[in-house]
Amino acid sequence: MSGGRKRPAPAPFAGFSPFARSLLFSPASGYCKLPLPNASAAADGPHQENAGMPPPPPKRAKQAEPSSDDEERHSSDADGASGSDSDSSLECSSSDGDDASQELETVQADFAFFDPKPSDFHGVRLLLKTYLDSKPWDLTGFVDLILEQTTVGTVVKMADDEEEEGEGNGGDKGDGGNDDDLFGLITVLNLGRYGENRCIKDLKEYLLAVCGNKDSEKKLKSLLEEKASSVGLLVCRRFVNFPYEMVPKLYDSLFDEVSWATEDEPTQELQDSFRFKQYLLVARILERKTNPKHNAKNNKDDDEEPVIYPKLEDEIFRELSSWSFTFPIRADQSAQQEMKNYKEMGLVMCVKAEAIPKFRKRLEALVSE
């Protein structure tokens, strides 16, 4: 990552799933390494891919809160060791080594990319809960839409969940593998193709309502109405501790699927629906609150970033965007101490399809720093 750029400190690893809890509470249990999903790719279907490369050597662990009695780490079948080493050294910056007797436990975890399935409903819904603000909208319909589009769209889960279900086909699905937790999701939806769905109508209404800037409002309106059939809503959601090595792969898989869809889809109309000219993104950022009391201590303010991007690629997108606007978020703000000077804002950006190759290069460069 570029030096001097402050990344929000990794949030403590919350035990949000049976898997996560097993990591937190059993430091001694090594997670046995599974055979590469490639070996069983035939059983799992043509579109399942894992993040490409052979597993890297174990990285130094990322320490969670000092009070928790063990470390956990995520490894992914991702870039070569060099990238991961520099990454892990940054990630370990929060480990003060305050407990000398603590061993650095490494836990191996394999993530894999899958096509969206109807059984992913709850996981995807959880990821999208904060997509728009707290005002009720047809979130359920939106999730269903994403899950129906199996040709373009990827969900990230633990590598073994799918295998369990595949083997237990016909019989009962294993109890453990059931709550397959989604760690990330990426997809793109054609606003014209789905324009009649209530969730897309709600979304369009919402975006037009929160847009404060007259100029952006005009551009947004034309994007959502006349040009809708060539606009893709790019949705990328993931948990905060998602390993950055996998992010470029996630975007690569999306854009590859989009280009394959322009050839593989059964009808000409569907093929054309993936020839996007622009991408629309809705993201969250943290903007520093302008506090009149701090004006006296100017030098203190300069140390803090004016804007923090929880998802780093949003910064790249914003720089490459043709236009963008921000809007205030009314829902409960998080009460983290370090974030108290920041206000959560929504960010809407429009990126031309031609800028995507530049984006991919810059993302790759950012992650491998």
Partner 1 sequence: MASRLKFENSCEVGVFSRLTNAYCLVAAGGAENFVSVFEAELAGVIPVVRASIGGTRIVGRLCVGNKNGLLLPHTTTDQELQHLKNSLPDQVVVQRIDERLSALGNCIACNDHVALTNPDLTKETEELISDVLGVEVFRQTIAGNILVGSFCTFSNKGGLVHPRTSVEDLDELSTLLQVPLVAGTVNRGSEVIASGMAVNDWAAFCGSDTTATELSVVESVFRLRDGRPGALGADVRKSLVESCFV
The region of 32-40, 127-135, 204-212, 216-224 touching partner 1 under the rule CB under 8 A is 127-135
122 interacts with partner 1 by CB under 8 A: yes
Nearer to partner 1 (CB atom), residue 179 or residue 369? 179
Among 129, 277, 289, 358, binds partner 1 (CB under 8 A): 129
Residue type present at position 308: I
Among 31, 111, 137, 255, binds partner 1 (CB under 8 A): 137
Contacts with partner 1, 321-350, as mask; x by CB under 8 A: ----------xx------------------
134 interacts with partner 1 by CB under 8 A: yes
Among 121, 150, 201, 360, binds partner 1 (CB under 8 A): 121
Concatenate the DSSP letters of all residues of 130-167 into one string.
TSS-SS---HHHHHHHHHH--SS-EEEEEHHHHHHHHH
Contacts with partner 1, 173-212, as mask; x by CB under 8 A: --x-------------------------------------
Query: Shortest Cβ distance from residue 204 to partner 1 (Å)?
Result: 17
CB-CB contact of 77 with 53 (8 Å): yes
Straight-line distance from the first to the last Cα atom of the chain, in angstroms, rounded to the nearest whole number:
5
263 interacts with partner 1 by CB under 8 A: no
Helix axes 214-224, 198-210, angle to 10 degrees: 160
Q: How far apart are CA 362 and CA 169, in angstroms?
A: 42
Query: Shortest Cβ distance from residue 140 to partner 1 (Å)?
Result: 5
- Binding residues with partner 1: total (CB under 8 A): 14
* C-alpha pair distances (Å), 89 with each of 34, 61, 77, 207, 369: 26, 9, 18, 40, 11
Nearer to partner 1 (CB atom), residue 121 or residue 260? 121
Alpha-carbon dihedral 325, 328, 332, 333, rounded to 10 degrees: 70
Nearer to partner 1 (CB atom), residue 121 or residue 323? 121
Q: How far apart are CA 66 and CA 360, in angstroms?
A: 36
Among 140, 290, 334, 336, binds partner 1 (CB under 8 A): 140
Nearer to partner 1 (CB atom), residue 93 or residue 119? 119
Count CA atoms closer than 13 A to 204's CA, side-chain side: 23
Nearer to partner 1 (CB atom), residue 7 or residue 125? 125
CB-CB contact of 172 with 201 (8 Å): no
Q: How far apart are CA 368 and CA 366, in angstroms?
A: 6
Q: Parallel, antiparallel, or unpaired: how do β-strands 278-288 and 231-238 relate?
A: parallel
Count CB-CB contacts under 10 A for residue 271: 14
Nearer to partner 1 (CB atom), residue 179 or residue 226? 179
Count CA atoms closer than 13 A to 336's CA, side-chain side: 12
Q: Strand, coil or helix: what is 91?
A: helix
171 interacts with partner 1 by CB under 8 A: no
Query: Shortest Cβ distance from residue 119 to partner 1 (Å)?
Result: 9
15 interacts with partner 1 by CB under 8 A: no
Beta bridge partners of residue 100, listed in sequence order: none
Query: Shortest Cβ distance from residue 275 to partner 1 (Å)?
Result: 32
* C-alpha pair distances (Å), 162 with each of 18, 39, 115, 152, 277: 16, 14, 11, 19, 34
Nearer to partner 1 (CB atom), residue 117 or residue 125? 125
Among 20, 34, 139, 307, binds partner 1 (CB under 8 A): 139
Residues in contact with partner 1 by CB under 8 A are: 121-122, 125, 129, 132, 134-137, 139-140, 175, 331-332
